[in-house]
Amino acid sequence: MSNASQELIEIDIRGQICPSCLLTTLREVNQRQAELKAGEVSLRVKTDSRDATSTIPAAVGNMGYPVTVEKREGYYLILIDGRPREGAAQGGAMT
């Protein structure tokens, strides 16, 4: 289980009204809190909102999750990584 690949959850909010980007992402992050912290899932948010590339990393980063932003063809990909903890034999061990 510790080396199983993470589940990638994709959230495609391209074309949507601006606050939807941050609200939808925050909702997803909150719902998947435990799994994110355990490194079992990571979120991939697809957005065409330039504003979101600023607000999402700021908000989610403040919650303690590593966030990276990559530019793709015509949109941005925001990766919220629930990084698995290296060396943990059982999930959930706090380093």
Partner 1 sequence: MPDHPYVLIGLASFLLGSAAGFVMHRSDFCIAGMFRDLFLFRDRFMLRMLVLAVVASMILFEAARLMGMLSPYPFPLLGPPSLANLVGGLLFGMGMVLAGGCVIGTLYKMGSGSLLGALAFAGLIAGSTVYADIDPGWSALVAATTVFPGKVTIPEFVGVSPVLLVTPVAMAASLLLLRWYRQDRWQRRSAAEGYLQPWKAALALALIGMLSYVLVGMPLGITTSYAKIGAYIENAVAPEHVGDLAYFHAEPLIYRPPLSDVTVRGGAGPVLDGIAAIQFPLILGIVLGAACSAVMLREFRIYWRVPLRQCVSAVIGGVVMGVAARMAPACNVWHLLGGVPILAAQSILFVIGMVPGAWLGSRLLTRLVLRA
Lay out the site mask for partner 1 across 11-40 (x = CB under 8 A, - = otherwise): ---xxxxxxx-xxx----------------
> How far is residue 50's CA from residue 93's CA, in Å, rounded to a whole number?
37
Q: Does position 69 bind partner 1 by CB under 8 A? A: yes
51 phi, psi to nearest 5 deg: -60, -35
Q: Does position 48 bind partner 1 by CB under 8 A? A: yes
Closer CB to partner 1, residue 6 or residue 20? Answer: 20
Closest CA to 78 of 64, 89, 68: 68
Q: Does position 81 bind partner 1 by CB under 8 A? A: no
8 A C-beta contact, residue 53 and residue 19: no
The residue from 25, 39, 43, 76 that contacts partner 1 (CB under 8 A) is: 76
The residue from 35, 40, 75, 81 that contacts partner 1 (CB under 8 A) is: 75
8 A C-beta contact, residue 59 and residue 53: no
